[in-house]
Structure 1
Amino acid sequence: MPPQPPPGSSKEEYVARPGQRPSGARRAAPRNQRRDRQPADVVSVLARAVREVEAAAQRHRVTADVRTKFQAIALMLREERARVRADDTIGDARRTEQLKRLDGIATILATTAVRDSALLALLADDAVVSDGARALARDMLRAGGVEPVVEETPEPEVPAVAPVPERRVVPQSVVSRQLANPFLAPDFSAARPAQVRPRRLAGWELLEPLFASFERAGGGAPACMPLPEPAPRILPPGLELMPHQAQLVAAAANGHRTFLLADEPGLGKTAQSLLAAEMAQAYPLLVVVPNVVKTNWAREAGRWVPHRPATVIQGNGETIDAFADIVVVNYEVLDRHVGWIGTFGFRGMVVDEAHFIKNKTSQRSQHVLELSERIRARTPRPLLMALTGTPLINDIDDFRAIWQFLGWIDDSKPLGDLMERLEDTGLTPADPAFYPAARQCVIDTGIVRRRKVDVAADIPARRIADLPVELDDKAGRSIRAAEKELSRRLVSRYDSALAARSSADDVVGIDRELVRRVAGWELKDTSTKTTGENVFSMMRRIGQAKAGLAADYAAQLARSAGKVVFFAKHIDVMDTAEETFAKLGIRYSSIRGDQTPSVRQKQIDAFVEDPEVAVAVCSLTSAGVGLNLQVASNIVLAELSWTDAEQTQAIDRSHRIGQTEPVTAWRILAAQTIDSRIAELIDSKAGLAARALDGSDEEVFSSADVQLEALVAMLTDALEARAAA
């Protein structure tokens, strides 16, 4: 017979645990939750879930579902910690054990958040918990043996107007600005551009031919629209534009209003944007940026257009000045402010690091496109600028969202000026001459691409020097053993797949197609496996093993050649490097993704201004954009990125306007490991942007992931070695 509640207590107040005798009335669980199992079950569910989120962040696959799971874990973690602390039915030892396990989960959650700013924003005190996260938390509670009680809420009355979405806010400063405007709502019909009716091109599919026109570009093809000669401009004292910067400002002064500003990093895109807005009178101006650079944008606005007040949106926007001319907002909080921003009356919009919106299904891309459409519908010929030094990360299709933001295309066809230009060519996609003509039409619509070697002769050339290191300690032997095990697993899968074929399918030698398929299976399985070695875990282990060696080399450079920038991908590698510098008596700054803007700026200023601070230890993903570190001409890349673009962004923190010495990036590679092969693959992808934008003859690399190509190479090497034996 099951235990019964003591006299005078209800079933809701009494919970009997399996295997325990009742000892009197017990305190009800918080939030009216009824527990059917031991609380450790909930901790186990949290532990499994946080490992899944951590694995996704390590693979840089933080989708909307992963963010929802991350927020659900954070919500459950707070509630479970509060429940354990308040539960006087468990002993001190049990409570300490449970809190220790919860602290471990919290540590994993925090270190994972550092890798992705979108996750970090979800841990903020003002972060709003989504309905999806609450629903997932309830499901996870049930999986842990807890049946949450859904509180009954009265049926709401049907509102007279549509409700504001959950995360949307309207800062009080914005309300004050709206009340201060004595005029009626304007008629925006005149702002809507007239639709261009296709004539010769009616019925033709045009978007794919437009993208293909960039893939087919030959050597010497132009990559920049014609720009006018620069005109003299009155600038704040002590500032001067370089000729290439003044040309774009002159184009805006002459009436051009949409730009894909794809100058190589370090050529001063921020100043060009601010002064172009001044020439176009595009105020108020909305600037959408990554979180790490929004403080820098406000600083630059104060330098180049000091008469235009700038304000930065933080969190829910309680501190913004809605009467400012320049409003800076980061991608991570844009969803809260889309509502009022869309009706604010902006006359211009700048999207910095525009390659962040290349995935049109992402929330950040959808918000940016929504705001662009609203501004174009409300403002006659607004200024729209997409800024990126690396517009193509993997594929020509990365252009799609950027072109749509600029109003050049929609989901199915070219629009406005671009369609007119295509019609004026008198060609169709059936004509071979259409492709170079179409590419030129797109470029003339507003692509501006300049290279340092062409427009900034006073900036010394840069070079990447690979520095192989031997991992001959225990960690090195472990890594090589893990690589052999992965190779054996790949060969076994290949042999099994080959044996399953019929004799008619036999091939002579190595079946290259099957090799690629086996590598794809392995990569797909990696996303679901929680144990065992894979290409991601090995690269992290290699980074950890190289950390001390890379830090030692950076220390040597600092002593002999001056200031050094040290880039790493993982927090533990940065920690090891900083410990090494501390032991060697070398002062350093630490620039990470989990810092507040003020702390981050103090670290940057210390490195730039204090001659005793010799090294800046930077996160490759968080500090690869928005920093000006020209005081250093030597860079140490302790870990490899998965893309050439990320590596280039890091190098260009030093190789930019203001640099007076040749810049060398020392890439630390683990010899005789997969590290060196991945470096070759990354370098081979560097030709994509050069061919599409610079008209280079360099071969375009396929859009396949470097991870897949690394596994293909590993399996191919193993099969060739077996055949030669």
Structure 2
Amino acid sequence: MLADVAREVDVAVKRPPTSGAVRTKFQVVALLVREERARVMADDSLTVARRSEELKRLDGVATMLAKTAARDTSLLELLADDARVSDAARAFKASVMRAAGMEPPEASAPVAPTATAPSTSTSVVPQSVRSRQMANPFLAPDFAAAAQRSAPRAARLGGWELLEPLFRSFERAATGAPACMALPAPRPVSIPRGRELMPHQARVVTATARGHRTFLLADEPGLGKTAQALLAAQVADAYPLLVVVPNVVKTNWAHEVALWTPSRRSTVVHGDGDRMDGFADVVIVNYELLDRHIGWLGELGFRGMIVDEAHFIKNRTSQRSQHVLALSEKIRTRIAGPLLMALTGTPLINDIEDFRAIWQFLGWIDDTVPLGALQAALEDTGLTPADPGFSAAARASVIDMGIVRRRKVDVVADIPARRLADLVVELDGAAGRSVRAAESALVDRLVQRYRTALEMRTVSGDPHAIDHELVHRVASAELKDSSSKAGGENVFTMVRRIGQAKAGLAADYAAQLARNVGKVVFFAKHVDVMDQAEQLFADRGIRYASIRGDQTPKVREKNVAAFTDDPDVSIVVCSLTAAGVGLNLQVASNLVLAELSWTYAEQTQAIDRIHRIGQADPVTAWRIIAAQTIDSRIAELIDSKSGLAARALDGAGDEDVLSSTTVQLDALVGLLTDALVASELD
């Protein structure tokens, strides 16, 4: 019976798109195979031969499912530990079990998301937070919030089940165009000098300035959701602001706060929060730490909350989802009209009900009914779920609550044809410690060389003044030694260590992009970084092609064709040196630079693999940069030489300024100078 259903699913998946009913069948068969395997392994009454035969048959069904998932890799999300099992899936599972002569387990009521009290063994309150609480022990009451909660609810639709029709309205009344609320024309927005806000971004900020306070911001990656959210918080004065994000982008959010709202202080919560600033305007915490900090986060008095990659809370019964929903409820209870923003390029992972937790976070619904403004909008339609026009009206009502979805192609006139976006990541664990230790050793060696050379001078000068000419000579000598010696730590081995440490983070981001926007080009300099990335893609069931320097022309051509022609191949992993020239990969419009080049030209050549004549979409190159390492300095140097590169190409510059040696030397000069300045301050 399981094999028959698995074959039925496989046939359906061959004719995309995969419907919700087919997804449900796939998930149920997978669950039953898993349960049957456990039952067979635990059944002592079976002979060895009989057990082997049963397991072999189950393996056959599992193999069919694996082949099906290879055609539609989004099905793998249904097998995750925190994947939601819908009521429809439970009902189908029960029917399959009954048809097989088995007694299904008694259905249990779904677990409602509630604010679970953190255990005293893991709950913490950072000292700086205690200081803030002591400095301001009373939060001013917001009587408007109480008035909103006590407002009577209209009764015309009181007897109707509304949530299910609301969800289904996005299937029944779909127009084919992205769901997007009507946004006002952009108005001038105060932004820091040197930054540029694109018109589509300014529309969301303008809507916030006019009083809109809840957004499901589902723009495609590359359209600047982070900047929109931070500037929306600024115009709404939604401080203190809580930002909940995946760990990989935690440091990048702090970087973006400094870029877009430099007058506001941000703090990033790590571990027990010993190093956080309890008086900061923006508190950034990753999902995994909510359990430890949920107590004080709920009491700090936040006036706004942003949840990045909001599809992470799709399973309402998971602990992280419950914590996010509990914090949102705390804020909405205390503040009238707080700014609540859910950011995701993938609002739907498996089915329409993935909306449920996000809508609940935004305060549009609760466990059973629409709330406040959404309930009023449904009443104003004059329709009931039994009326033919209800689905279209209900869908429009939800979209007007604040769903914003734009694709690159929708705002192509607003955005540059080619954009370089930096994603700042923090290196944790042993790899991060190794990088920091190597950089510290390099800096110590440079400082020792400088001081030794200074002591050998016959002419004395100001002992506190930095001799920049000597700094340059010391850096040149270090670079020469690094180039000539095979062993030991130097600037080249350190940069390679950083690439290795970033590999998993870069690959993880590329995987997210592939799921959100389709095909992605992944560039790296070193083979071991490519190997790590490919292993992560394989582990996640993501099909990829590989372009390396040791391939024959025939193999290379085959892999390029697989990426450009096969819709199931999502990522191509490329060597910067082997694939940086001579390839046309414009089937993608997103590129990840996992490792930095030593020259602006090499970086540009990589981007030009997708930014070519015939490219219909704006191109975004995501550059992964390790925070608080030489990586950041190299990125700044490469960017600073972009103008020199343009002048050299126009015949008005010196091509020497473009050499990789110049960047390497300038990086060492910067490291030594900073160390000497720091030693003088100490």
- TM-score calculated relative to the size of structure 1: 0.46
- TM-score calculated relative to the size of structure 2: 0.49
